[in-house]
Chain A
């Protein structure tokens, strides 16, 4: 008996010409756990919105065909009728947290159903118990980690007793270790309560940590695959539609291993196969060593930085020192609250350290004003919407130049050069609002590059982006180093650090606990555990297969991967 059924279903937003969902036909059975994956703009969020009633009640448009959810047609009901059948956990944990405390937030649905406060309090406690959050009942959301917030939202939906749970990108904004916990929690609840679970995500590897019944791939509003995860993984479907395969599967494919010999490939442990081991340990790939960093030229030197927000308060940074060379890309890793953003604020001159020095090209800039530092060290925020001020690309890119009162001809020249470097030349007359997320990101980077900085600090440059945009943004950033710019990436994406950076600095509790090649850092179990990072599946694979040189295997694969992509 299907609990959700799409029949020739199409949907077009009122303000768009093309339909976002195009003739969908599929079913989801009761108690199934389904992952719906797709690149940005594939229509996966719209699909979820059709199920929970956001479409057409909050976003209107034209519906065709039929959709049945638990016996009702959502678009013929009102949003409250649908809420009884399907509960949604949104990706933005901060704005979905409505209550002032954990208990109040879990109670929200019951309050709206006018449940007696005595009964409500009991129910709230029970639901929090089921996600092991009862201890936090009087805490405020500000004291919780992203993963804990996600658990609280889950408790809230559980208490309402709906049969279908919808997860809208539950892993976005979570650090890797918290993401892992959320996936485990979803799985436990699925086993315990036998609810129907639909997860929308593009971080496929993380979701597949636990068993999934079916993987549906959607692209341009059409279903491209609807099968058991193993079947999809063994083909080349994910890559084709702008999604990332699990890293260990990429590696297996890379070494031309016949995936048919591995049963249950979604489980990395099933790769423990003598034939696989033989191939991976004998087949050496010869790669050219990256020669860019032979001639080291010191660019930025940060020495013994200490910082606390107030004298009595906790020390946020403790004796932090590191160096950055010309043309180098380094990543700063660490869990939320480790001090990453404070450190980037100090480097960019927004905050002043209590003690320590910062030298740029041999000049002490510790005491320089933010305006002076801003010209040399650029800062790109995570969300481009936080940065963009002007409506036209040209105005935005030239904003800093105008603020520093450069000569008009000079500004024009610099502007043209920058938009060309950033691949925005063709769009230069477009309004910013008509650009995609990746393009907006480029605009913000361009507006910083226009000032000709020596160092660029980027905060989570690829957060929430699908593989296509991720590659686009990162390849572009990598190319900037050719001009000698030093780049610092603040991130908790392990893949990103591994693939694009030459060195990773790991912060934990305000201290640097590691500063080395990413492949080395990420195969060091101690550091990984301490910084709430997650071992990459590549390193896990080498552990499972008991390969001799773990680090070399990882480095090997990453280097050749880059080569492959450059040729493509």
Chain B
């Protein structure tokens, strides 16, 4: 947890200085580019660029490594399920059928395997940019910035609150689970049965939910008592102005995005498959 008890990590990198709204727009453009096609080359390029960006954003590796691990594990599970449930999917996409081998009686097609790798990398290529947005953006400046580009402030403020309270809920989870572990409901290595462990984690969610609901009620009251929502507009103590530099970055991003869209339109298939 950072100094502010938020996900935001202080720093002075290029990405920290970039106006949050511009960062958000770039993230959206990045996502559209990723979802527009199913091209291994593009995913690899974006992933590489993303990792370089992540390096420049000075976000400590120890913080992002777990998130990377989670996404990679999710991707592997997803890939296995695709291979099991729709082993023919690659064939449908490419119109070809090359049987590689069979695992436990399930046939594995090269086309499907290639598809699975492509889609995994596609998801993964979203991650660096998302991490940069979450960890290098000051929550209130993000909210004020979103408000500035026309998003209603109540919605913008919700982002702020969410970013702020995630670490607190994490902390609460820790405290509650420790107390439960002390009376025999461990979710760690102490409990040998995996099913029991899952069950015990689930039982923690009840007090966690209770205290979270209590907290939401308190925060809502605290905000209303201090006149949140009084007018259609509100001003911001932590404003971030959009500088000329920010605009230049935005123009560059738009240019690259247009190029990507143009390139996509010239292709006849959204799935890139080199072994034809």
Contact = CB atoms under 8 A, between A and B. Distances in A.
Interface of A: 52-54, 57-58, 79-80, 83, 87-88, 90, 92, 95-96, 98-101, 103-104, 107-117, 120-121, 124, 140-143, 156, 160, 345, 348-350, 369-371, 373-375, 377-379, 381, 383, 385-389, 399-400, 403-404, 447-448, 451
Contact of A111 (B183, B185, B206, B236): B236
B178 interface: yes
B219 interface: yes
B238 A104 contact: yes
Interface of A is mostly: helix
B269 interface: no
Centre residue among B138, B215, B218, B225 by max chain A CB count within 10 A: B225
B179 A387 contact: yes
B235 A114 contact: yes
B220 A350 contact: no
Nearest to B161: A98
B237 interface: yes
Contacts of B6: 100
B237 A98 contact: no
B179 A140 contact: no
B235 A400 contact: no
Contact of B179 (A121, A369, A379): A379
A117 B161 CA distance: 21
Interface string B23-60: 00000000000000000000000000000000000000
A140 B140 CA distance: 13
Nearest 5 Cβ contacts at the A-B interface: A403-B184, A107-B237, A95-B218, A400-B183, A96-B222
B195 interface: no
Given A96-B222, A100-B164, A120-B237, A350 B178 contact: yes
Contacts of B228: 108, 112
A451 B183 contact: yes
B10 to A, nearest CB: 10
Contacts of A98: 219, 222-223, 226
A140 B5 contact: yes
A404 B238 CA distance: 53
Contact of A389 (B3, B207, B211): B207
Given A111-B234, A389-B206, 11 more contacts: A58-B220, A100-B164, A109-B227, A111-B237, A113-B234, A116-B235, A121-B237, A371-B181, A371-B190, A386-B207, A389-B204
Contact of B226 (A57, A142, A156, A383): A156
Contact of A90 (B140, B160, B183, B218): B218
A109 B219 CA distance: 14
Given A114-B235, A117-B237, A379-B179, A403 B185 contact: yes
A83 B229 CA distance: 12
